[in-house]
Chains A and B, each alone.
Chain A
Amino acid sequence: MALFGIPDSFKVAGFHIRDVQNSEATPTLDDVTYAIEMMSPSIHGALRFCGLFIVGIAAQITIHESSPMFFGVFHLLPVSWLATRILVLLGVQAELVTRHLAQGFCRLDLSGVHYAVTHECTGIIAVFILAAAVMAYPVALRERARGLLLAIPAVTLFGVLRLVILGIVAQARPLWIEVFHVYIMELVTIAFAMFVFIYWVEEAHGRDRH
């Protein structure tokens, strides 16, 4: 609809501009969608990916919080158990107590000192991050499936390694456990997750070229 000869909306340099002063209508979802579509492909692609990534992470957190026992049995317990076995093989006096699993943690006894192993300790965030990033990336479904098959076992095994390292640090340098847990292992976890993600992105593009 035109008002005093000025159209309600018009395009300037690829953007959808609404004559806000003369129009009583507030921007609609269509306006926003159109504005995003008119952005440069660079920003449009990144915004779409980031939006889908947020949705993916939020969905996984919701599922995680609504069924903690599922993740306890299928992630926390196997990762903790395998890490404990490796610690024992490495000569660390380690024992895993699983009776607290329903409360969201396993107890790892290292030479008489008790540590609560939570989901956070097993690096489950890396699993969620990679799964969300793979699902959000603009690839065909079979590439996504290939990505998940690569990413989930890789970061789960990394979770085992992470717990083994934390166990060794807790045994050898107990005062360092906090900085290892909160900073160094978080940093290494994100680095490893992005290593796997970049590798998969490049592989997917390589297959596409061939």
Chain B
Amino acid sequence: MSDTGAPGGPPDEPTEPPAGPHRVIGTPPPAQARTLLGDAPEAQDAAPARRELPADPSDKPRAKRAERLVAALFILSMLASIGFIAAYVGLEVGSVDATLRSNLALGLSMSVAFLAIAIGAVIWVRHIMPTVELTEQRHPMRSDPEVREAFKETFEEGAETSQFTKRPLLRRTLIAATLPLAAAPIVLLRDMGPLPGTSLRHTVWRKGMRLLTYGANTPIKPGDFSSPGGMITVVPEGFQDNQDALAAATAIIIKFQPGLMRFGKPNQVRGGYVTPNWTVDNIVCYSKICTHVGCPAALYEQTTHHILCPCHQSTFDAPNGAQVLFGPAPRPLPQLPITVDAEGFLVAQSDFHEPVGPSFFERG
């Protein structure tokens, strides 16, 4: 730090004493009046400092060995970097296997390049640089009163000289310019709409729509789906390739041993019971979408008749209306009313009678 000028001052100024109040706006005033940089003055006129750090490490032969090691590491890093470039230029990435090889070569060479420099630097510090312990005092965080006063003065001077306080037209138009800019992000929230309306309450299932096995897309006869303990994923005919529709409409059908299901009253949606006239020949159809957060709940155990959701272990009791046995799901899996059509294939009687999937704000 020089004895006259403040940092950032014009280069020609420090040679002559400052003449009056003339200086560049925004820079601190001369140092002897107010300084922004804490206590410097004492060190300036001290005698040339005696040497504080030893010139050589304490163990010279060891340092010599370490030097060779560090040099070897740096050369290794250099070679690895060259290897990285060579691998990037030389290895093709046309196929999966070639990409694997390329990724491996690039990753390895780059890690070696960085690691070798890092390890070399640490060995350098530990074994070649002399070991000394230095203590450095911390300064108080709060500035001196003079410095604070100086800052305030500078700030006010700057504000005044910039004409910001003197010219209300400029000030107000500047504020007017920033206001709509701040409002813009709020208007962008509009993109979160439109409101879902009743779309969360319905799926694409309609009366007479056939149940297709997912993937093979074949309709199902109750006589074919005849093995007790059977389970299969079904999708509505006509929507088997519509992922948006399937996200809500996908369901599973389960075939039970006779007498296993606990039936409630006809046409009544009620937890703990299977609605009897919505089943065909001990086949029941439930939504595959978990009522917790909408994962596909289809881990059906034919021994315990539990339907498990893999995400958070919600467990539903399949023969008892898929009521919740365990886990965070708040309500049973909705049951899809099914029957058979004239050709004997399983079809839906209607849409689900309650919303499928997780809770939503308007559901109540």
Mutual binders A and B = no
